[in-house]
Chain A
Amino acid sequence: MTVAPDGWLTYDVARQERVGFFTDTSICIGCKACEVACKEWNAIPEDGRDWTGYSYDNTVQLDANSWRHVAFVEQEKPVRADGDGGTSLRWLMESDVCKHCTHAACLDVCPTGALFRTEFGTVVVQQDVCNGCGYCVSACPFGVLDKRHLAPAPDLPAFAKEDGRVWKCTLCYDRLKGGHEPACAKACPTESIQFGPLDELRERADARLAKLEAEGADGAQLYGRDPEDGVGGFGAFFLLLDDPEVYGLPPDPVVTTRDLPEMWTNMLAAAGALVVGVAAAFVGGRS
């Protein structure tokens, strides 16, 4: 175990092995089974029936009503190195999800404790606690967290109603407690989404990257695997075939609270200055 995710050690005996996702986009066929499996299990409302023209992506983003999102990127680039030739097309598909950061800004800034670190090392919003302050929404460097505003859909289904709370992937917290793997990972036809103990996943990912590089895949990279990165590594990390921003991901995310101590001191200094300033207003002769 490299860096322990914040808050996880507090479970001492009740603590479980830290689990997560390794999403290997090099074998993602873009079927969206993960999106549907997630919605079926978590009974997530519909997210609108708008056609976007973003290739085959009509989900567009992770939000309160889509906790898995398959991105589609069409490129005119060489195909897989081992099968190069005829066509210059490349169609990237990536199933995005909450990263369950080791140092999670959403978790840190949540004022109510609605967001908490589970015994599995994951980050979950407790719907019985969240009061919809929205702080986590601005804190997340990936734009994952989102407040649910829903007008009931005109032609059903009835499960849509104004909600006001913040929702995101729970890594199927309830399923984990029952010893089942998360719905998306279970559904994935090609095991592009792999679930398991994080350490194991990291080893698997390293091997996978090595294989691809041996095959000459250029641009392939692990995203969020490194415990030294700005968020201490992801609990749900990725193998990408191009730079993160191509998939709509930040290339170098940093947990905002890393600078919090500095900010607090800074804020106290400013407060002090205010007192001095006010006092100064009473000093000196009349003008």
Chain B
Amino acid sequence: MTERGLRSYYGRPVLKEPTWTWEVPTYFFTGGLAGASSVLSTSARLAGNERLARTALYVGAAADLVSPALLVSDLGRPERFHHMLRVFKVTSPMNVGSWVLLVSGGASITAAVLERAGRLKPLEVLAETVATLAGPPLTTYTGVLVADTAVPVWHEARRELPWIFGASAAASAGAAASVFLRPEDARPARRLAVAGVLAEGALMQLMELRLGTTGEVYRQGAAGKFSWAAKGLATAGAALLARRAGRSRTALALGGALVCAGEMCLRWAVFKAGAQSARDPKYVVEPQRERVEQRLARSRGGT
């Protein structure tokens, strides 16, 4: 009954764990994939790599198709999904994201359909342009989505997360495209994937470093497992893409698949880390208590 160690209420969490289920981390992946693929597709078109352009376009459209489905199925009241568009709130990353997803998804799917039909070229171009503009924010807003919470390991990583998610999206876009391409058309996609993996790896390190104690959740429990898997798979995939995939179609496909799997694990690592840091009161209380003590010290110093 007497207090000992960390002061908390019977060791109970201060925060509620995120209520989100498997659909959400999966969407982080597909959303990122969709956004980055639009950019990749357009860039390829400009660079005259039609095969890559078309592949990326289709991949992006496919991802844009599943993303909303995932989000709707995560809702407690799915029949009310359209309430997301009831208002426009810049203070709500999820609301902004819904609008972005609507635009980018609508555009990329239109573009894909017209591409297949080979009709209304001007409209397709317009659609692609819109998708390309909406794509990048779609890949990075999810970083803000999680950072804009009370979950310590998310909010404290608000500076890194959009970048990590962006890099991860780039990697997955490149990797996903690679899976469907012949080596001679895949070079930019491979480069993108490899660069993405390298960037995200570095960023993850930086994040964990800056998180300090809180960062330890990335080395514990489910989050720990996922982030190891993420590193392993992505690195292996990237290595394949960099070394072998120039010649071997198989290596190309395999490398692409491994990177994608890695990126998916990365999203899950971040997702799980959030739940773990919300569950343990110490990640909430200790940093805040420190702030309070510092403030008190300052005010005492001041007087």
A–B: direct contact at CB < 8 Å = yes
Question: From residue 230 to 259 of chain A, which have CB atoms closer than 8 A to chain B?
Answer: 243, 245-253, 256-257, 259
Digitize B83-113: 1 where CB-to-A-CB distance is under 8 Å, 0 elsewhere.
1101101111111001000000000000000
A-side contacts of B136, CB under 8 Å = 271-272, 274-275
Task: Please report the C-alpha to C-alpha distance between residue A37 and residue B39 in the assembled complex, in whole angstroms.
Answer: 57
A269 to chain B, nearest CB (A): 8
B102 to chain A, nearest CB (A): 12
A-side contacts of B191, CB under 8 Å = 280-281
Asked if residues B43 and A278 are in contact (CB atoms below 8 Å), the reply is yes
Asked if residues B285 and A250 are in contact (CB atoms below 8 Å), the reply is yes
- Count chain A CB atoms within 10 A of each CB in B35, B49, B162, B196 and give the residue with the most: B162
Asked if residues A270 and B86 are in contact (CB atoms below 8 Å), the reply is no
Does B266 belong to the interface (CB within 8 Å)?
Answer: no
Closest residue of chain A to B288 (Cβ to Cβ) is A252
Asked if residues B140 and A139 are in contact (CB atoms below 8 Å), the reply is no
Closest residue of chain B to A138 (Cβ to Cβ) is B149
Task: Please report the C-alpha to C-alpha distance between residue A21 and residue B149 in the assembled complex, in whole angstroms.
Answer: 25
Asked if residues B14 and A248 are in contact (CB atoms below 8 Å), the reply is yes
- B2, B40, B162: the one within 8 Å of A267 (CB): B162
- B2, B16, B36, B83: the one within 8 Å of A75 (CB): B2
B182 to chain A, nearest CB (A): 15
A227 to chain B, nearest CB (A): 16
Asked if residues B84 and A275 are in contact (CB atoms below 8 Å), the reply is no
Task: Please report the C-alpha to C-alpha distance between residue A252 and residue B285 in the assembled complex, in whole angstroms.
Answer: 8
Closest residue of chain A to B246 (Cβ to Cβ) is A287
- Count chain A CB atoms within 10 A of each CB in B7, B36, B148, B150 and give the residue with the most: B150
Does A79 belong to the interface (CB within 8 Å)?
Answer: no
B-side contacts of A212, CB under 8 Å = none
Task: Please report the C-alpha to C-alpha distance between residue A263 and residue B154 in the assembled complex, in whole angstroms.
Answer: 12
Question: From residue 173 to 187 of chain B, which have CB atoms closer than 8 A to chain A?
Answer: 173-174, 187
Asked if residues A267 and B19 are in contact (CB atoms below 8 Å), the reply is no
Closest residue of chain A to B80 (Cβ to Cβ) is A131
Does A123 belong to the interface (CB within 8 Å)?
Answer: no
Does B69 belong to the interface (CB within 8 Å)?
Answer: no
Task: Please report the C-alpha to C-alpha distance between residue A248 and residue B246 in the assembled complex, in whole angstroms.
Answer: 58
- Count chain B CB atoms within 10 A of each CB in A63, A71, A251, A279 and give the residue with the most: A251
Binds B, one of A10-18, A141-149, A180-188: A141-149
B15 to chain A, nearest CB (A): 4
A-side contacts of B139, CB under 8 Å = 271, 274
Closest residue of chain A to B39 (Cβ to Cβ) is A278
Task: Please report the C-alpha to C-alpha distance between residue A61 and residue B246 in the assembled complex, in whole angstroms.
Answer: 58
Does A20 belong to the interface (CB within 8 Å)?
Answer: no
A210 to chain B, nearest CB (A): 19
Q: Given known contacts A141-B15, A274-B166, is B144 in contact with A282 (CB within 8 Å)?
A: no
Asked if residues B3 and A112 are in contact (CB atoms below 8 Å), the reply is no
Asked if residues A247 and B158 are in contact (CB atoms below 8 Å), the reply is no
Task: Please report the C-alpha to C-alpha distance between residue A264 and residue B95 in the assembled complex, in whole angstroms.
Answer: 13
Asked if residues B12 and A248 are in contact (CB atoms below 8 Å), the reply is yes
Does A54 belong to the interface (CB within 8 Å)?
Answer: yes
Asked if residues B13 and A165 are in contact (CB atoms below 8 Å), the reply is no
Binds B, one of A23-31, A103-111, A194-202: A103-111
Does A83 belong to the interface (CB within 8 Å)?
Answer: no
Task: Please report the C-alpha to C-alpha distance between residue A252 and residue B81 in the assembled complex, in whole angstroms.
Answer: 35
Does B147 belong to the interface (CB within 8 Å)?
Answer: yes
Residues in B lying within 8 Å of A, measured CB to CB: 1-3, 7-10, 12-16, 18-20, 35-36, 39-40, 43-44, 46-47, 49, 74-78, 80-81, 83-84, 86-87, 89-95, 98, 136-137, 139-141, 143-144, 147-151, 154-155, 158-159, 162-163, 165-167, 169-170, 173-174, 187-189, 191-192, 195-196, 199, 246, 274, 278, 281, 284-285, 288-289, 291-292
| Given contact pairs A248-B14, A282-B49, a sample of 18 additional A-B residue pairs in the complex whose CB atoms are under 8 Å apart | A111-B84, A112-B86, A130-B83, A133-B75, A134-B76, A137-B18, A142-B14, A144-B16, A252-B291, A260-B148, A264-B90, A266-B162, A268-B137, A268-B140, A270-B140, A274-B36, A274-B166, A280-B195
Nearest 10 A/B pairs, CB to CB: A132-B76, A164-B76, A248-B9, A271-B136, A131-B80, A134-B19, A111-B95, A252-B288, A112-B83, A108-B91
